[in-house]
A and B are shown apart, each in its own frame.
Chain A
Amino acid sequence: MDISKQTSEQRDLLETLKSAIIAMDDEKAKKIAQTIVDKGFDPEPAIKYSIAEGAVEIGVKFDKGEIFLPHLVMAGDLMDEVAKILEKNIDAEKVEKKKVILIATVQGDMHSVGKNLVSTMLKSGGFDVYDMGVDVPSATIIEKAKDLSADMIALSSLLTTTMPYQKEVIEDLEAMGIRDRFKVMIGGGPVTNDYAMEIGADAYGKDAVEALEVAKRVLA
């Protein structure tokens, strides 16, 4: 977002907020967010610039190996808290609704590292992420997706023998006549793009960085 037309005071606040988010300085970031609210400034640039661009830079740092999964978690939580402060002054109806992604490791699979990386990356990337954990039955995933009115269902599988449950979710959505309501992205160690196409998934994410790029493209 272009902030050049903001006042110099506002630009300073926006840049400082962005830096505080990147540095994961909770106290500073929340203080600046509150200042923006108290001064009656439009909070939209803070959301679309400070938080959004801060998230991009955090993703780049993770990709470069400068920060790790726990930092993504902390950053995601901080961005949520900052957004809540900023949104106080926006009518609930006008708050731009984030796209919702439901993520889970499929039934029978206890592996979570990849899923956690993708989940936190998606959250840092500006999506509303609901993480259902591991070993989640297909029916449970679909019920939750319906409850949340999710935009995307992201499914992780690290075992060759649990990949069929990714296919099962898609088949169940089709059988229920609601396949078109959700985009489905799959990923995990043995999963390939070919397999994603074979089972009718909408997208494949090779790793957390790619999953974020793909989610942004598919849900644009």
Chain B
Amino acid sequence: MITLYEIAERTQTGEKVEEKKWDMDFFKTISELVKKYDIKYPGEGCYINMDDDLAERAFQAGIEFLERMGIYCITTRRRVRLSREEILTAVHEAPTEVLMGEGRDRRIWKQRKVNGNEKLNICPGHHTPFTEDLANLVVSNFAQIPRTDFIEGFNFASVDGREIMGPPMEVYASRRQVGWMREGVRKAGRPGLAIVYYPINTRAEDLIGAMDPDHGLRRTDGILLTLLPDLKMEQDMLSAAIVYEEYGSFKLSGSFAIAGGFCGGIEGAIIEGIAKPIACMIAYRDFIHYTGVEHVHMLNGRQILIPGLNWARSVVNQALNRYSHTICMRWVIPTSGPGTNLCLLEGAMQAIEAPINGMNLYAPRQARTTTNRGQTPLEAEWMIEVSDAVIEQGFDRQGANELLEKLTRRLEGEKPLEGYTITECYDLIHHRPLPEYQEAYISVKKELTDMGLKLNF
């Protein structure tokens, strides 16, 4: 695979491009490829892709897109060109398994097969802000979920009572984040559990500052280093990638495309959604990715259902799993907040898609999250329960599609609910939802069971 130093050089020597020109060329090129490869939403009722030819065409479109566009370095305003050979080498040389954690908590995180029958890897939480007073209680709650394979850090506004502002405090906060994570996993009896550092900021010093084999990020831990939307990279992230590559930590990327942005609609987002994790592999050596397609209106918490979105995610993940070595995860992001039945229904929808499309599961969190309101351990345990049931009951693509149709009908007309803070709906001392949330959970389980997914009571 092309080296990170080669990428670094190309960020300095590549063709100069103004950002607005990049953005509009991005849209124009993707639009051409949508037509060229005939990528088209079949219409209502299609949630899981059944067209294997389409998945292959979409994959080819993604490769051609990356070859034609390259990656844009926003630091130097230059294009990093990649040859088709370099792209295909990355696609095939990337690993299909990542080893993480240590001792009895060592885990192997794997690429999944479409409609596979192995249980999924799990990251149950974080990637959402919490206040420091809740820090290690929250971490230990999530870490004690037995199926947890790694756990990601979180952002926060103040540390030791001081506001986090500016590089010195950001670096200090980065070290505290990982410190709290390590304390939390120890308290859960899982001292070797892999931790993924969630960047306090994307400056190089904030990314590298967390590294510390004794008190911070170990070599068996990971870090989230991701391209921005529209295939844009930063030199600071690349700097961190170079350091962590030598150090030995694994790297994660946030590789979904955002429909409604410069990729256009869901069809264009499919192409970006395929190109992006490959670009992340090349630019930062990320080997685990949250993949698929989201939509601006959903991420902003405006709408629960977007026509074609489930299908688009399905195409992306089927394409990546069939034709590349991309380890995919489904980031479960309901628009409704924790403590509500809608949060669990939306989460179920996304957890059903995951095993069918070949995706592991990652950090359920409200789409438009704010401090302490993003998630509780129940949503993580729920997504495991649902995806395990889908696998155990042998749902195939058609069966899953029918289930998703029922869930869609159920959610039609609903508006996203704000939800509650973690302490308003969850008992962190005893690791259980508070009574009202527990009732909502049982009620949603009954609804899912009536729809045809048998769950244990």
Contacts and interface: CB of A to CB of B under 8 A. Distances in A.
Interface string A106-122: 00111111001100000
B155 to A, nearest CB: 4
Interface residues of B, number: 42
A122 B200 CA distance: 30
A20 B157 CA distance: 47
B176 interface: no
Nearest to B229: A113
Nearest to B130: A160
A207 B302 contact: yes
Contact of B201 (A108, A116, A207, A209): A108
A164 B163 CA distance: 8
Contact of A161 (B170, B262, B296): B170
B129 A110 contact: no
Given A70-B23, A161-B157, A192-B370, A112 B228 contact: yes
Interface in B95-149: 129
A108 B200 CA distance: 11
Contacts of B173: 161
Contact of A190 (B129, B203, B262): B129
B327 to A, nearest CB: 25
A190 B371 contact: yes
B258 A165 contact: no
A133 interface: yes
Nearest to A161: B164
A68 B265 contact: yes
Contact of A117 (B228, B296, B370): B296
Given A70-B262, A110-B228, A133-B19, A159 B201 contact: yes
Nearest to A107: B166
B337 to A, nearest CB: 13
A134 interface: yes
B265 A159 contact: no
A161 B200 contact: yes
B60 to A, nearest CB: 23
B74 A68 contact: no
A68 B264 contact: yes
A65 B368 contact: no
A165 B165 contact: yes
A145 interface: no
Contacts of A161: 155, 157, 164-165, 170, 173, 200-201
A152 interface: no
A126 B387 CA distance: 48
Contacts of A112: 228-229
Contacts of B20: 73
B262 A69 contact: yes
Given A161-B173, A190-B370, A207 B163 contact: no
Interface in A22-40: none
A168 B170 CA distance: 16
Interface string B419-450: 00000000000000000000000000000000
B260 interface: yes
A65 B295 contact: yes
Interface of B: 19-20, 23-24, 27, 74, 129, 155-157, 163-166, 170, 173, 200-203, 228-229, 234, 258-265, 295-297, 300-302, 306, 368-371
28 contacts: A65-B260, A65-B295, A68-B27, A68-B262, A68-B265, A69-B262, A69-B296, A70-B24, A70-B264, A108-B170, A110-B74, A110-B234, A113-B228, A113-B229, A113-B258, A159-B155, A159-B200, A160-B157, A161-B155, A161-B165, A162-B201, A164-B163, A164-B165, A168-B165, A190-B369, A192-B370, A206-B300, A207-B302
Interface of A: 63, 65, 68-70, 73-74, 108-113, 116-117, 133-134, 159-165, 168, 189-190, 192, 206-207, 209
Given A68-B265, A112-B228, A159-B155, 6 more contacts: A63-B297, A69-B296, A112-B229, A113-B258, A113-B296, A159-B201
Which 4 A-B pairs rank lowest in CB-CB distance, beginning with the nearest?
A70-B27, A164-B165, A207-B300, A160-B155
